[in-house]
Structure 1
Amino acid sequence: MNFKKYATMLAIILLIPGGIYFYQQAQASKYEGMTFIPEQSDDVPLYRGLKAESPIYKIKGNKWEDIMVFYQQELPKNGWAEEMMQVSSDFSDGAGFISTWRKEHQGWELSIRAAFYKNTNQTEVLFDKKEPKQAFDWIKGEPSEICINEQPDRSDECYPIIESEVILKIAELINSASEADMEQIPYNEKSIIEIGPLKIEVYYDLEKGIYLVSEKGEKWMKPETEFFQLTRISKEY
């Protein structure tokens, strides 16, 4: 009787390390390929219900808006500042948001993306630790004129801006915008700004942001009121 008891105890003792090993392996595989894991950080909470499935997190249902609001509320409490937020203009398949967050004295930035896919009825979220985007000058020197076409889809006409102070401020705003790399154009409204030989396509939403595209690359900036007032690309200003 005692022999059976000891044999059972020995088997259990031998199984425990094996069970721990396989559990650790399963946990590691869930996070494989992830550059940032909220569960292992002190200042980025994980939205309730998100489950890690390398290299992303998933949750049932259309939750991207709730997730966006959650991080907009929670991250600033832990010292994070929203650098960029791009939100889908409609609710088509794959709709969601892309955001970038920075923290003072930290040499990297946090990217959070979420999208809802109808065929799986799931929202997928990607957390990514990235090198901060730099702002490179597109406009050199002091342009003598800027020409703006408010509605290029309707007309080829553009109106010139020749006031030097206005030109320099518009150039400064464009140069200071962060480099971007979008998978698709995020906004519906479009205008064109011509500065010398440089042609810049401006896609914008008055509340969500301004997306700039030229031969020099892509940039994004917050929906600065000053930019709209100076360029007058929107009828609202």
Structure 2
Amino acid sequence: MPENTNAIIEVRSLCKRVKDATGELTILENIELDVIAGTSVAIVGASGSGKSTLLGLLAGLDNATSGSVRLLGRELSTLSEDERARLRNGSIGFVFQSFQLMPHLTALENVRLPLELQGGIEAHEATTRAQALLEQVGLSKRTQHYPKLLSGGEQQRVALARAFVTRPAILFADEPTGSLDAATGRAVIDLMFELNAAQGATLILVTHDTELAHRCSRTVTIEAGRVLGRSPPGA
């Protein structure tokens, strides 16, 4: 299949297998997928279908058994772990169901951390950008609070601010509302789409939430490790 020059992610013949007590277990089989820059893609499917595994492979957090993932023009299988980390740190943001905030850091410090890891940004600018994002997500009065003093919705808003502070080309989100009640989840999702629209990032998320999936420009359904049906990359 020829390369799609408009794609920010290109996946070809992607397979993931792992060893278990009975032999070899196939998690993903022959995945073909293009993601166009600036679009939003929901990956949906039943529990155990391989959604989160696919997300991890797309982001270079895991290694495929075979096939290829081309992320931002780089073939991931040719990169070392350090090279993948640098690619993620410079161009990718993450939002997880479990928030994954650093418990010993304040909200402001958590949001500022990716900029510090990225390097090349003065401390004052990093703090200013982090404060601006926290204000955008409605937490300007909670900047000095530690995660344990924040509600689940507040923690996820800090996680959103942290994900967007580096102005990533791609945002990966794995069940971003899974730990939140319905009302809080809707508020967080509204914020995520507002921030995404403002920055123009490509959004790729795993979700069981059909309402959330419908807000994306495209839905990819995974069933038993395979993409169910084919839809145009930008649909």
The structure with the greater share of residues assigned to helix is 2
Identify whether the pair has TM-score above 0.5, normalized to the shorter chain. no
The structure with the greater share of residues assigned to strand is 1
Give the TM-score, by structure 1 length. Answer: 0.25
Q: Which has the larger radius of gyration?
A: 1
Give the TM-score, by structure 2 length. Answer: 0.25
Structure with more contact order per residue of length (Cα contacts < 8 Å, sep ≥ 6): 2
